[in-house]
A = this chain, B = another copy of it.
Amino acid sequence: MSTEFKQRAEELVAAGRFLYQRGWVPATSGNLSVRLRDGRIAVTVSGRHKGFLTPNDIMITDANGQSQDGRRPSAETLLHVQIYRRCPDIQAVLHPHSVNATLLSRMLGGELLLQDYELLKAFSGIDSHECSVRVPIFENDQDIARLAAKVDAHMDQFAPIYGYLIAGHGFYTWGRSVEDALRHVEAFEFLFECEMRLRGVNKS
């Protein structure tokens, strides 16, 4: 085990605990990864509870998401691979599974439009609330390779995006580091909560 892997694994363990304490990775949902300097990926082992990870629950795959140690990585590892392939500057991908992301992705068709929120400035490269962020929503699909291809095709047209939703499933976001990606998760979850609460307000 390299020092780099040990450090990254500890970051993912802490990220899992952080996300769980906020209710964003219930049961054994969600998955987390970091890209190592040599291009391989440190990712959560399939079926682990993200709130109670140990470094031993983090495994290594090659750049294509193929296991290097015989253990099975999270089912959606190919969605992480798609982001790493496309974005050389992205080193961490997080997939929380919150109530709000689940509901908005089921209720809305096509995309969630976020605008007039000061917090949009939390996303790298945005320096004013006077803009909008589009969060695409993809149909859920147990064929992850096919889902990854859809995400990739979408990014060909609409990049840059800061994250996306999968219907009934949660959302994906990423960053230049685990800390950067966690800041994006916090911002998205705040905005998802705003959007859900707005829809519960009675007009009149």
Contact mask A90-121 → B, CB, 8 Å, 1/0? Answer: 00000001010011001100000000111100
* CB nearest to A107 among chain B residues: B201
Determine if A2 is an interface residue (Cβ-Cβ < 8 Å).
no
Which residues of the other chain, B, contact A194 by a CB distance below 8 angstroms? 99, 102-103
Determine if A29 is an interface residue (Cβ-Cβ < 8 Å).
yes
Known pairs A27-B190, A102-B117, A129-B140; list 4 more (Cβ under 8 Å): A28-B122, A99-B190, A116-B140, A200-B202
Question: How many copies of this protein are present in the complex?
Answer: 4
Size class of the A contact interface (CB-based, 8 Å)? 35 or more
Task: With A190-B99, A197-B103, A198-B103 as known contacts, state yes or no: A118 contacts B168, CB within 8 Å.
Answer: yes
How far is it, in angstroms, between the C-alpha of A27 and the C-alpha of B181 when the chains are bound? 10
Which residues of the other chain, B, contact A196 by a CB distance below 8 angstroms? 197, 201
Task: Check if A119 sits within 8 Å of B29, measured CB to CB.
Answer: yes
* CB nearest to A179 among chain B residues: B49
The 8 closest A-B pairs by CB, nearest first: A118-B169, A27-B122, A26-B190, A27-B187, A27-B186, A200-B200, A199-B201, A26-B186
Determine if A19 is an interface residue (Cβ-Cβ < 8 Å).
no
How far is it, in angstroms, between the C-alpha of A167 and the C-alpha of B183 when the chains are bound? 22
Contact mask A158-169 → B, CB, 8 Å, 1/0? Answer: 000000001111
Which residues of the other chain, B, contact A166 by a CB distance below 8 angstroms? 118
Which residues of the other chain, B, contact A119 by a CB distance below 8 angstroms? 26-27, 29, 97, 102
Min CB distance A153 to B, Å, is: 22
Task: With A28-B183, A194-B99 as known contacts, state yes or no: A117 contacts B200, CB within 8 Å.
Answer: no
Which residues of the other chain, B, contact A168 by a CB distance below 8 angstroms? 116-118, 129
